[in-house]
Amino acid sequence: MIGAGEAGRGGQPGADRSKGAAGAGPLAGLRVLEVGHILAGPYATMLLADLGAEVTKVEPPGGDLSRQVSDSYFASLNRGKRSVRLDLTTPAGQDRLHTLVREAHALLVNLKPSAIRRFGLTYEALKPYNERLVCVALTGWGMDAGDEPAFDYVVQAATGVAAMTGEPDGPPLLPGYSSADNSAGLTAALGLLAHVHSGRGGQVEVSLRDVMLSQLNYRAAAWLNDGTPPRRLPGGAHSFYVPAQLFPTAEGHLALFVTHDTFWRAFAAEAGIDEPAFATMAQRAARREDVVAAVTKALAADTAAGWEARLRPLRIPAAAVRTLPEALAAAPDAVVEAGDFRLVGSPIRVGGHEPSYGPPPRLGEHGGD
């Protein structure tokens, strides 16, 4: 574990942190400051906290805006952190920030670019206080792109995600959760750890726009290299694999994802589809409509739950469409307790480490100016 004596301008996580306290997480001793609000930044640092990092939220006098949404919303993004209340517009607030920076390894900021610069939250501004500090700027469009609003749904609309989502003849659609914010948070956490691992201080930039374009990898490559534009297919079908989409059944919908030919042979035998012209991946792609029609007819003979029970033992990727309450009930090991809150735990399982999920902090619980 990194001790207090290792802090300051030269303090960085050591290569071997296994000598820390029993049960300490792999990031034990890593000290991270967070200045941000709502979702992307707080989600990034919460993942780090779950792995043992000491995360301190630097909150304005009124607190993170997510506190105004609901207590459970705030808890879902801020469990296990510390909270320091500072007014960064004042000299006293800046002095306190610089004191915290001297003892930190990294700072993650989730604000618009002008605010990041105005509050002195860049590496260039903070280098005099800790030259080995890693600063991560998590913005909507990039530090040099201005302050245009960049909330999750706006970014999904601007990057082509909404346009390729939905039924072919329907309007563009958005998923029912903040996919851009969450994805950007994961990416920012990765960028922070990569630069900390380098042992050098410096600036890291992550934008929601870049993250979402990156996640459209094979769709973007098809357009850039082959001139193939994205198109919507019924049932949210995959653009290459057939059958790989949602199908109606006698009751409920089934997600079926058949890729290679061994999956198809096993599925076709169970479903009673005897069609040699569907034998290979290329044949199925060329006769998409015929394949989908045959699969739809076959699946009408049983319920979604029934098909899942039949196909899973055959190792065929399939699942009945569940609601979130149903999914949580089916995965009790994913739910943890953090103080008075029941939350979904960390998705990262590290051998020998059982996360200690602390409660979300009260505003200014750990000090302020």
* Position 11 pLDDT exceeds 70: no
Mean pLDDT computed over 333-357 = 95
In the predicted model, is pLDDT for residue 3 greater than 50?
A: no
Q: Where are the alpha helices (DSSP H) in 71-207?
A: 71-78, 91-102, 113-118, 123-126, 152-158, 179-198
Report pTM.
0.90
Residue 62 scores a pLDDT above 80: yes
283 to 21, 114, 222, 288: CA distances (angstroms):
58, 54, 20, 8
The confidence score (pLDDT) of residue 14 equals 41
Cβ atoms of 203 and 137 closer than 8 Å: yes
- C-alpha span between 2 and 227 (Å, rounded): 52
What is the per-residue pLDDT for 23? 55
Domains of the chain: 4-215 (3.40.50.10540), 234-248+253-320 (3.30.1540.10)
| pLDDT tens per residue, range 175-218 | 999 999 999 999 999 999 999 999 999 999 999 999 999 999 99
Q: What is the rounded average pLDDT for all residues in the chain?
A: 93
Average pLDDT over residues 292-305: 98
Q: Is the pLDDT of residue 10 over 50?
A: no
Query: Taking Cα atoms as reference points, which of 268, 252, 277 lies closest to residue 316?
Result: 268
